[in-house]
Amino acid sequence: MKINPNKCVACGNCTYVCPMNAIYIDPVMNRATIDRDECVECYACFNGLSQEHLPPGLVRGIRKVLSVLRVRFDPEPDVCPTAAFEPDELVWPRVVRRAFSDPSVPHESTGVEGRGTEEVKTNDVTGRVKVGDVGFTIEFGRPGVGVRFREIQVMCWALAKAGVAFEKRNPITSLMSDVPTGTLRPDILDEKVMSAIVEIKVPVAEAEDVVRLVWQVEKQLETVVAIGVATRCNDDGTETVVVPILERLGYSPQRAKTNIGLGRVVTVEEKELVGAAKA
């Protein structure tokens, strides 16, 4: 992302909306400026700010007069008055920043928007996490901190060393140059993203060890980590396997995402089969 200095009027609205705090008013130029190394190409500024198309010279003049009089206009806080933001043409490896940070862009590897994962949200159709399995989503960087792939690799190495298998349909896994060792492509390691999720699945008996391993590794990282733990419920809808493990580890889960089991397989092929059977 870039800000056109010929349009920017240094109103400062954009400095608050950047989730990475990467925008500031350069005191020499008196224009909003983006710290490219910290920018994760999330497009929150471009997509989230409403835009006016006012003449920059006029706006600067009015702002100057008001400033001299110590009068402060109280405009809407989520507006760029001159539509000064202009998306860059992103090339590899910088383009991975946007793929992991702008939720409106689907990941090429999975076709899913956001962090590109389905987890147990479609488990009633995919059967991804079965009875006896525990699925983990280990998310880095949010809220509002961000993460570089170099740090994610530290966790991936540790998980791989522990013999954990990575979910194949996951954007992080698709960026590994060597999946068995959890090694990521070297050309992306310094790229920063809003957040990214490593997905793994283990037998119930190994779940506690995985959490303890994550605790150990997260201490070495300069970012925040959010763990999600997924499991299949019993036939009567109760869940009696994972909660006792979490409580033993000292957690008291408050919030969850609950798949209510209404999904079913409806593909073109299956529709045709049903049609043929009826005929």
Binders of another protein among 191-220, rule CB under 8 A?
194-195, 197, 214-215, 218-219
Strands 31-34 and 23-26: antiparallel
Among 16, 58, 132, 273, binds another protein (CB under 8 A): 16
Among 62, 90, 125, 189, binds another protein (CB under 8 A): 125
Site string for another protein, 17-36 (x = CB under 8 A): xxxxx---------------
Contacts 24+ apart (CB under 8 A), 59-66: 59/9, 59/11, 60/9, 60/10, 63/9, 63/10, 63/11
In the complex, what is the shortest distance from the CB of residue 93 to another protein, in angstroms, rounded to a whole number? 20
- Of 278, 161, 140, the C-alpha closest to 220 is 140
Nearest to 146 by CA among 60, 51, 18, 59: 18
| Nearer residue to another protein within complex by CB, 187 or 247 | 247
SS3 205: helix
- The C-alpha R_g of the chain, in whole angstroms, comes to 24
Greatest alpha-carbon pair distance for the chain in Å reads 82
241 in Cβ contact with 145 (< 8 Å): no
Q: Which of residues 237-276 bind another protein (CB under 8 A)?
A: 237-239, 242-243, 246, 251, 253-268, 271
Q: Any residues with CB less than 8 A from the CB of 184 and at least 6 apart, and which?
A: 149, 152, 153, 156, 172, 175, 176, 177
Shortest Cβ distance from residue 182 to another protein (Å)?
Answer: 18
In the range 147-166, which residues lie near another protein by CB under 8 A?
A: none
Q: Does 113 bind another protein (CB under 8 A)?
A: yes
How many other C-beta atoms are found inside a 10 Å radius of the C-beta of residue 249? 12
Of 26, 38, 78, 247, the one binding another protein by CB under 8 A = 78
Cβ of residue 178: shortest distance to another protein, in angstroms? 25
Of 70 and 219, nearer to another protein (C-beta) is: 219
Interaction residues for another protein, span 81-110 (CB under 8 A): 83, 101, 103-104, 110
Q: Which of 33, 82, 117, 170 binds another protein (CB under 8 A)?
A: 117
